[in-house]
Structure 1
Amino acid sequence: MWSFKRLLALPTILGLLSSAYGAFFYPNTQASLLEHILVDTHGAHSSGFADAITPCTNYVSGNQSMGRTTAAQWIRVAFHDFVTADVASGTGGLDASIGFETLREENSGSAFNDSFTFFRPYVNPVISTADILALSVVMSVGNCGGAQIPFRAGRIDATGGGAFGVPAPETDIPTTLGFFSGAGFNQVDSIGLTACGHTLGSVHHGGFPTVVGPEAVSSDNLAGGIHFDTTVANFDPLVVHEYLNGTGQRGGPLVTSFNVSSRSDLRLYESDNNLTMIALGEQGTGFLNTCVGLLQRMIETVPKSIVLSDVVTPMEVKPINASLDFDSKGNLFFSGYIRILTPTPSSPPSAPAFLTIASTTPIPLTPEPAQGQSIFGTTAFYPFATKVIDAGSFAHFSVTGHGSHITFPVQTSAFVVPSLTSVSSTSTTILNFTVATRSRVAPTVKVQVPVGQQGTLGPAIKTFDNVAVNNTGRKAGYELWAGSVDVGALATGALSVAILDGEGKEVDVGFF
């Protein structure tokens, strides 16, 4: 059983609720939280993540007249993080080391710190900055007109800067292809990945004055950006066609720059006599699927020690904040939401749904009026709350309706108590928590907190093991144990409280 509470003064990973809830996460905590960001993009209970790239012309980090777009920034940051990988030795790739490398000349521009500043509140003990960076590529492409890239989780953040080796506008072809080759991409792959990455965004005089001249700067283009193609915020094949046909932006400033030595895209595209670009142009909309394959390979290039998860896929029926807690009279209650996703273009469900605890009478569910929307379809949210008479026999619950009957397991031996847990932040973050157990033996509790670290805007995870707890009473057959942690710094995102068994495995984790 897992719990989550909105962290004060920070955007919440689960945008559903503004007060403390203990929630079961399905299929597991990490996948559930990332699926929420991926699917709950707009409308009711959205995570807020996709707001940064809605519309795709948006620049979330500053003045809309800068001429920058956040979706293009996210793809660029991920590319710079990836391309210094050494696949032969199994090092580098998508590991968020780019956060430590922003002062390097090869990482010119504001995209890196812009992106990590936005990502910070979404990073917690089970979601790394590297996973958020990979997810940002998936969402930028999918929400801006491209095809959906499969997303796997499990990346681990680097603790320092990685290797040098990002191609620059002036880099010669042998060196450029050598950088790509080190990251596992051959010449054809390198040309394709560059074309895919450059279907969004621009090059700016502010970051690259040797590529774009000062004449590009204007009152509505303060950073002096010149687009790669004429659909700067649409993920489409136009960058390829405009390059081949000499129309529109003709492939962008890395093809057409006044400075011949800065025409890196032109040198790359011409390195095989344009054969790859011609083949990409002949694919039509199939170009989007080619980009899916290349970009998936890019974000899945990780250190050899990392094993990525199964693909995180939208759940059509998903419990949200399905929670155990005590009411004011000490009774045990189970409450939360059931989210039902109706894939596009089907109509949202009109028939009732039911929730059943063990073999008790089914509880009818009525959806909230507000719905959510995403590229995956429409989401409806069904709140529920019911008293638990016998926690010992409560091992699962079922959701019936809309053509399905799905059973979800629960465990009730121990849980973090949401209503008796709070977080305060002044000069430091202080967590006061209570856990409930059936055992009269004091539980082992671990607390983890994302905090700032020197050299990068990506958080580090600070761990407190064997946190002391005191027995404070008994409710509904459970012993209550209270503890407190002064983090010694301000938390940057959601922190966790874990109850461990005798083997050190997590019995329950609460997020706050």
Structure 2
Amino acid sequence: MWSFKTLLALPTILGLLAVASGTFFYPNAQTSLIEHILVDTHGAHSSGFADAITPCTNYVSGNQSLGRTTAAQWIRVAFHDFVTADVAAGTGGLDASIGFETLRAENSGTAFNDSFSFFRRFVNPVISNADILALSVVMSVGNCGGSQIPFRAGRIDATEGGPFGVPAPDTDLATTLSYFSGAGFDQVDSIGLTACGHTLGSVHHGGFPTVVGPEAVTSDNLAGGIHLDSTVAVFDPLVVHEYLNGTGQAGGPLVTSFNVSSRSDLRLYESDNNATMITLGNQGEGFLSTCVGLLKRMIETVPSDVVFSDVISPIAVKPINATLDFDAHGNLIFTGYIRVLTPTSSAPPSTPLFLNIPLSLPVPLTPESTPGTSVFGSTTFYPFSIPISNPETLTSFHVASQTFSLQTSTFIVPSLTTLTTTSSSVLNFTIATTSLLAPSVKVQAPVPQQGTLGPAIKTFDSVAVNNVGRKKGYALWGGSVDIGVVTGAVSVVVLDEGGKEVDIGFF
């Protein structure tokens, strides 16, 4: 049994998960929360993450007349983080070190601080800055016309800036290829990744005056952006075809710039006499699959000590906020939602849905009237609330031909746990246990760190707890932590005698 509660002083950061009292995380907290961001993009109980790139022309960080697009920014930030990797040494890559590097000339523009400012509310003790950065690439491509990039979690955040080495518009070809090579990409890969990355977005006079002249600045294009292709907000092969045919944007400003020394894309594309670009052009929609492979390699170029999770895919039937708690009368209740994901090509479920728990008749579930939507299909949410008289028998629950295991011997009590956020955040928590021994507890919180807008995770080990009473056969243990300033969800983790996680709650 796992728990989750809203972070009251921050914007809603995890949709339904952020406003409910507690959550059974299926199959685990990290997977459940990332899958929520990936799937619950619009409509009922959305995470809010995809709002930044909806529509894909959107610029979430400022005036739309600046001509910037957030989806393109996210891909650019991830590329800059990745390309300074040293794969031979097993260092660098997608580790969020780019957050510490925003004052470097090679990281010109607003994209980096724009992105980390938006990302920070989604970072928590089980989702790193680097995972959110990688997920932003997946979302930008998959939600803006491209194919889905398989996503695995587990990236570890850097604590300082990494080496220099991002190709610039005026970087010579040999140096550019050496930067890519250090990150594990050969000449063909480098051309392909550049073409894939440049199917979205623009180059702006404001960030690159040696590439784009001041004549690009207009009243509705204040940053003076010139598109890389004619479908600036659609992930498609057009950037390749326009380059090869000399039509539309002809490959964009990094091909056509008035400043010959700033035509970095042209130098790269012509480095093999356009052979790779011709191959990409002949792929048609297969270009999207090529980009999936290259971008997946990019976001999975990480330090050698990273251990990835399994691929996180949309879950067809998912328990959300399946919670043990005490009601106002002190009775034990089991409440929550079942989310059913229906593929776009299928009709929503029409047969009745029942939830089964031991020693109880099947509980019919009635769907909420408002669905959710995403590129994966529509989601239907079924709320439930069941009184529990024999918690020792509640070892699992069954719904839609699936069985989900529970442990009920220890749980964080949502209704008796609060996070107050004023000038300093104070977490007061209560844990219920069937054991008379005090539980071992640690608290983790995302907090500001110097040099980057990406938060660090602060850990409070061996937090003191005191017995504060009993309810329905459970001993209640209370504790308090003065955390300070927080940027996202705070976790309470209950550990067994061997240090293994028994329960985790977010508040």
- The TM-score with structure 1 as length reference comes to 0.98
Query: In the alignment, what sits opposite 2:274?
Result: 274
The answer to whether the aligner puts 1:253 opposite 2:253 as a matched pair is: yes
C-alpha deviation, 1:331, in angstroms: 1.1
Alignment of 1:18-167 (within 5 A): 19-167=19-167
Query: In the alignment, what sits opposite 2:192?
Result: 192
The answer to whether the aligner puts 1:506 opposite 2:501 as a matched pair is: yes
Alignment of 1:242-321 (within 5 A): 242-321=242-321
**Equivalent position SS for 2:16:** coil
> For the structure 1 residues 274 and 18, does the alpha-carbon distance in structure 2 shift closer, same or farther, using more than 3 Å as the test?
closer
C-alpha deviation, 1:17, in angstroms: 5.5
The answer to whether the aligner puts 1:453 opposite 2:440 as a matched pair is: no
Of 462, 475, 482 in structure 2, the residue corresponding to residue 479 of structure 1 is 475
Query: In the alignment, what sits opposite 2:358?
Result: 358
Alignment of 1:315-330 (within 5 A): 315-330=315-330
**Equivalent position SS for 2:147:** coil
Do the aligned residues in 2 keep the contact of 1:124 with 1:461 (CA within 8 Å)? yes
The answer to whether the aligner puts 1:441 opposite 2:437 as a matched pair is: yes
C-alpha deviation, 1:90, in angstroms: 0.3
**Equivalent position SS for 2:462:** coil
Offset from partner CA, 1:383-409 (integer Å, 9 cap, x none): 000011111111000003xxxx00000
C-alpha deviation, 1:12, in angstroms: 3.5
How many angstroms apart in 2 are the aligned matches of 1:290 and 1:457? 33
Query: In the alignment, what sits opposite 1:373?
Result: 373
Deviating runs (4+, > 6 A) in structure 1? none
**Equivalent position SS for 2:215:** helix
Query: In the alignment, what sits opposite 1:219?
Result: 219
Aligned amino acid, residue 371 of structure 2: Q
Do the aligned residues in 2 keep the contact of 1:22 with 1:321 (CA within 8 Å)? yes
Offset from partner CA, 1:195-226 (integer Å, 9 cap, x none): 00000000000000000000000000000000
Of 487, 496, 505 in structure 2, the residue corresponding to residue 492 of structure 1 is 487
How many angstroms apart in 2 are the aligned matches of 1:62 and 1:440? 54
C-alpha deviation, 1:350, in angstroms: 1.7
Do the aligned residues in 2 keep the contact of 1:414 with 1:438 (CA within 8 Å)? yes
C-alpha deviation, 1:171, in angstroms: 0.4
**Equivalent position SS for 1:126:** coil
How many angstroms apart in 2 are the aligned matches of 1:200 and 1:386? 49
Aligned amino acid, residue 298 of structure 2: M
Alignment of 1:376-395 (within 5 A): 376-395=376-395
Offset from partner CA, 1:408-436 (integer Å, 9 cap, x none): 00011111000000111111111111111
Offset from partner CA, 1:144-173 (integer Å, 9 cap, x none): 000110000000100000111000000001
Runs of 5+ in structure 1 lacking a partner?
none
C-alpha deviation, 1:453, in angstroms: 0.1
Offset from partner CA, 1:167-206 (integer Å, 9 cap, x none): 0000001100000000000000000000000000000000
**Equivalent position SS for 1:154:** coil
Query: In the alignment, what sits opposite 2:172?
Result: 172
C-alpha deviation, 1:14, in angstroms: 2.7
Do the aligned residues in 2 keep the contact of 1:13 with 1:122 (CA within 8 Å)? yes
Do the aligned residues in 1 keep the contact of 2:467 with 2:478 (CA within 8 Å)? yes
Q: Number of residues paired by the alignment? A: 507
How many angstroms apart in 1 are the aligned matches of 2:123 and 2:111? 18
Do the aligned residues in 2 keep the contact of 1:13 with 1:33 (CA within 8 Å)? no
Aligned amino acid, residue 326 of structure 2: F
Aligned amino acid, residue 407 of structure 2: Q
Runs of 5+ in structure 2 lacking a partner?
none
Offset from partner CA, 1:472-509 (integer Å, 9 cap, x none): 1100110011111101x211000000111001111101
How many angstroms apart in 1 are the aligned matches of 2:279 and 2:458? 50
Offset from partner CA, 1:239-260 (integer Å, 9 cap, x none): 0000000000000000000100
Aligned amino acid, residue 416 of structure 1: I
C-alpha deviation, 1:18, in angstroms: 5.9
Farther-moved stretch of structure 1 (355-364 vs 216-225): 355-364
How many angstroms apart in 2 are the aligned matches of 1:67 and 1:385? 48
C-alpha deviation, 1:470, in angstroms: 1.2
Farther-moved stretch of structure 1 (191-200 vs 352-361): 352-361
Aligned amino acid, residue 381 of structure 1: F
Do the aligned residues in 2 keep the contact of 1:358 with 1:397 (CA within 8 Å)? yes
Do the aligned residues in 1 keep the contact of 2:339 with 2:382 (CA within 8 Å)? yes
C-alpha deviation, 1:39, in angstroms: 0.2
How many angstroms apart in 1 are the aligned matches of 2:359 and 2:30? 30
How many angstroms apart in 2 are the aligned matches of 1:143 and 1:23? 27
Aligned amino acid, residue 432 of structure 2: A
Aligned amino acid, residue 422 of structure 2: T
**Equivalent position SS for 1:84:** coil
Query: In the alignment, what sits opposite 1:412?
Result: 408
Farther-moved stretch of structure 1 (14-23 vs 123-132): 14-23
How many angstroms apart in 2 are the aligned matches of 1:51 and 1:90? 35
C-alpha deviation, 1:22, in angstroms: 2.0
Of 402, 414, 417 in structure 2, the residue corresponding to residue 421 of structure 1 is 417
C-alpha deviation, 1:370, in angstroms: 0.4
Aligned amino acid, residue 392 of structure 1: E
RMSD between aligned alpha carbons?
A: 0.8
Do the aligned residues in 2 keep the contact of 1:152 with 1:311 (CA within 8 Å)? yes
- The TM-score with structure 2 as length reference comes to 0.99
How many angstroms apart in 2 are the aligned matches of 1:176 and 1:387? 64
Farther-moved stretch of structure 1 (21-30 vs 83-92): 21-30
